[in-house]
Structure 1
Amino acid sequence: MKSLTFLLVFIYLLIETMGGVMANNECYYQLGLSQQGIESGKIWQFLSYAVLHGNTYHFVVNGILLWVLGGKLQSIVGVKKAISILAVGVTTGGGLQLGLSYLTENGHSSLLVGVSGGIMALLLGLTTMDPCRVLRPLRIRARHLGLGFLMSEAIFTLIDPSLGIPVLTGVGHHVASAMGEPIFLVAHACHLGGGIAGLILGKIILSNSDQSGL
């Protein structure tokens, strides 16, 4: 995971030295995940979008989480399985975000970047395989933290006003008024898809480990 983190750092610094996001629109158009890109055959976007980030805060948070969560999960399942969970989380998260974007009014022009879906997969994979670990300084069991994040992302996904779901849309407007409109600029569906992938893969790995230990 350290190598992947260093790769993200290198790509981010390279883009910054070349003028930042606005000066590299073509790079983001080619590698970021979008309806237009997939419809034109750029299927690599289901993975490549994860190496790009929208701003410094986005990059720093994801970089730290990839380093910490990826390292912990790698110590439990090994580097190959950890990378597999990350990759499946990225593709599943991107796929769910892209699928839901077809239901929104402004989805056709949106562009998804960031490794957040993969990080959610790492988090749920870790909390699924080591559910009783008490996480400090929060003093909360891992399984409760993982499921809490998963449920919150499911809620934010469903109440997104752009989906237009009756009743839930009203809730979403109230949440946006209280927390600010940018709350729904976050790719909650991507996080949800990645988390579900991590949860399922974690259970599969646990099941296989139990069977091999019999």
Structure 2
Amino acid sequence: MLDPVTKDDPERMQTPPPTPPSQPIFNLPRVVSTLAVLLIAIHLMDSNLLSRDGRFELMVTFGFLPLRYLPDAVAQYQLPGGEGARVWTFLTYAFLHGGWGHLFVNVMWMAVFGSAVARRFGTLRFLLLSAVSAVAGAGLHLGMHFGEAVPMIGASAAISGQMAAATRFVFLPGGPLGAMRRTDAFAYRIPASGALESLSNPKVAMFLLVWFGINLLFGIISLPIAGEGASIAWEAHIGGFVAGFLLFPLFDPVRPRRT
């Protein structure tokens, strides 16, 4: 369902419905549960069914490899995927993970913040926002690591975009994490604030401060991914987060708050 709320009267958006349906906290939207199952299935295949050479080829073909964007790198290094991988890997890298810990952390955050965004946006808008955030994350990573031969994988940039989009409404009064919080469907239809107004919300400001602080810490001391032994691509996280925060109005089906 592309636009679950735009047919509502904007005046009614300000007043809770008299008998709102309940929204169980662990009842994940179908798109979120489907994505989680897909990510788990891909990692099961990668870790159990492929040989070591097969896993390497899968990662180079579908992971995001900055080396691929050097002139003539595809032919010189005979990179799998050819020239087409210069395009599709901006998105496909998000479906691969370095280990079960890496996958678990991403699925957990998607279940928490992605679910809120999916309930508000509907399936198609949610998927589009996630894809744009993944592309933005890869783009910033490429700018910071151009020509490097280390592939990047993981859904973290897409999920960072979901987290950023969620901050635009979940902390508002009546929102799922705001004052006078609600747990029904109306909590996900609260008209959002503008970007600058959102930053003035103490809860949003604190969340952003902690989130950016943690990611900058990852960049400074190169912490591994949940014990998997690989460094965190913090630049991709930031690229996805900024995209999700700033592009939120382009995907939001709820009319913005009046000032």
Same structural fold, with TM-score higher than 0.5 when normalized by the shorter chain: yes
The DSSP-based 3-state class of the residue aligned with 1:130 is coil
What TM-score, normalized to structure 1? Answer: 0.74
1:94 Cα deviation after fit:
0.8
Bigger drift between 141-150 and 22-31 goes to 141-150
Q: Distance in 1 between matches of 2:61 and 2:37?
A: 22
CA distance 1:53–1:154, change in 2 (3 Å):
closer
The structure where helix makes up a greater share of residues is 1
> How is 1:72-83 mapped onto 2 (pairs within 5 angstroms)?
72-83=116-127
1:131 Cα deviation after fit:
3.2
What amino acid maps onto 2:60 in structure 1? Y
Q: Distance in 2 between matches of 1:65 and 1:5?
A: 11
Which residue pairs with 2:156 in the alignment? 116
Contact 1:46 1:90 in 2 (8 A): yes
What amino acid maps onto 1:193 in structure 2? G
> How is 1:63-78 mapped onto 2 (pairs within 5 angstroms)?
63-78=107-122
Q: Which runs of 5+ in 1 are unaligned?
A: 161-171
What amino acid maps onto 1:72 in structure 2? A
Contact 2:106 2:159 in 1 (8 A): yes
Which has the higher relative contact order, 1 or 2, with Cα contacts under 8 A spaced 6 or more apart? Answer: 2
Match of 2:247 among 197, 201, 212: 201
Which residue pairs with 2:139 in the alignment? 95
1:189 Cα deviation after fit:
0.4
Q: Which runs of 5+ in 2 are unaligned?
A: 1-31, 75-82, 179-200
What fraction of aligned residue pairs are identical, expressed as a percent? Answer: 24
Q: In the alignment, is residue 144 of structure 1 matched against residue 144 of structure 2?
A: no
Which residue pairs with 2:195 in the alignment? none
Contact 1:86 1:118 in 2 (8 A): yes
1:55 Cα deviation after fit:
1.1
Paired residues in the alignment total: 187
CA distance 1:11–1:126, change in 2 (3 Å):
same
Contact 1:124 1:146 in 2 (8 A): no
1:208 Cα deviation after fit:
6.9
Q: Distance in 1 between matches of 2:132 and 2:216?
A: 22
Q: Distance in 1 between matches of 2:92 and 2:48?
A: 20
Q: Distance in 1 between matches of 2:152 and 2:39?
A: 16
Point out the structure with max Rg over C-alpha: 2
Q: Distance in 2 between matches of 1:134 and 1:141?
A: 16
Q: Distance in 2 between matches of 1:98 and 1:156?
A: 20
Q: Distance in 2 between matches of 1:13 and 1:98?
A: 28
Q: Distance in 1 between matches of 2:176 and 2:253?
A: 22
CA distance 1:129–1:36, change in 2 (3 Å):
same
The DSSP-based 3-state class of the residue aligned with 2:97 is coil
Q: In the alignment, is residue 50 of structure 1 matched against residue 94 of structure 2?
A: yes
1:10 Cα deviation after fit:
0.8
RMSD in angstroms over aligned alpha carbons?
Answer: 3.2
What amino acid maps onto 2:49 in structure 1? M
Deviations 1:119-139 (A, max 9, x none): 000000001133325749xxx
What TM-score, normalized to structure 2? Answer: 0.62
> How is 1:157-172 mapped onto 2 (pairs within 5 angstroms)?
160=219, 172=220
Q: In the alignment, is residue 36 of structure 1 matched against residue 80 of structure 2?
A: no
What amino acid maps onto 2:58 in structure 1? C
